[in-house]
Amino acid sequence: MTAAAPEVLRLDRVGKRYPMGDTVVDALVDASFTLHEGEAVAILGPSGSGKSTLMHLLGFLDSPSSGEILFEGRPVAVITERQRAQIRAEKIGFVFQAFNLLPRLTVRANVALPLSYHGSPPADADARIARALALVDMTHRAHHRPGELSGGQRQRVAIARALVNEPRILLADEPTGNLDTKTAAAILDLFKELNRLGRTIVVVTHSPEIAGHFRRQLHVLDGRVKEGGAR
Ligand SMILES: Nc1ncnc2c1ncn2[C@@H]1O[C@H](COP(=O)(O)OP(=O)(O)O)[C@@H](O)[C@H]1O
Ligand SMILES: [Mg+2]
């Protein structure tokens, strides 16, 4: 199925090297793989193996030191920073372990934030916010503030915020890392449902249990990415 689906992201021998005093850290080495539309991918690996580095590159939050990244077949390096920011805002949704919600804003206002990225919100803003909140089953908490919610509810709001621009791809870096097992399972079910609805999903986890629920696994070890088979 995935072989025929259009390509969303492709990495071609991508490396990321960080300077560390008078030495360097090769956080990612020679990573080559393709993500197709509709895929659900789990990224596995121990702490410090390069998972977040990889996610930042996939979401254009950082640039590679070597190799090439293509988004929808176009090399990311040759498009302007402004276009990159636009693709990031409109086509890529990012979910973090720490939720990163603004505590003074209501749930609704937090979810609305990405809509105003280019100045004024779109005409269908209300409908988009309502759809995103309904998808994560948080409509009934729209006027609450993050401090009044459980960890699982906060993460659902963060997922709604990542979805409000109806991105092509959803990237989640250890989204269940701060949640208890039961809540983590519920968030995982939500990702599976979003994938079933057609969203391309990449989730970082160090739980083989969670990764086992995804059709494809990528293992990261010492900066090297290998195709999975964890099941
Ligand atoms: N900004 C940075 N500067 C220097 N080294 C970094 C930076 N970010 C990550 N690293 C190093 O790169 C390696 C991979 O880190 P990271 O991608 O965060 O791993 P993971 O998410 O799998 O825990 C680690 O050795 C880490 O210390
Ligand atoms: Mg990490």
Torsion sign, CA atoms 134, 136, 138, 142 = negative
Residue in 172, 190, 198 with CA at minimum distance from that of residue 6 = 198
Compute the distance from residue 50 Cα to the ligand 2 centre, in Å.
7
pLDDT the model gives residue 230: 44
pLDDT the model gives residue 146: 97
Compute the distance from residue 219 Cα to the ligand 2 centre, in Å.
13
Pocket test for ligand 1, best of 14, 16, 18, 47 (most atoms within 8 A of CB): 18
Q: For ligand 1, atom 24, name the residue with the nearest CA.
A: 48
Convert the pLDDT of each residue in 90-112 to its tens digit: 899 999 888 899 999 999 999 99
Q: For ligand 1, atom 8, name the residue with the nearest CA.
A: 53
Convert the pLDDT of each residue in 123-146 to its tens digit: 899 999 999 999 999 999 999 999
By residue count, the chain amounts to: 231
Query: Which ligand 1 atom is at minimum distance from the Cα of 53?
Result: 17
Query: Which ligand 1 atom is at minimum distance from the Cα of 47?
Result: 23
Residue in 172, 177, 112, 118 with CA at minimum distance from that of residue 151 = 177
Sheet with 74-75: list strands edge to edge.
23-36, 7-20, 66-71, 74-75
pTM higher than 0.75, yes or no?
A: yes
Which residue ranges have their beta carbon within 6 Å of ligand 1?
18, 20, 25, 27, 45, 47-53
Which structural domains are found in the chain, ordered by start? Answer: 7-227 (3.40.50.300)
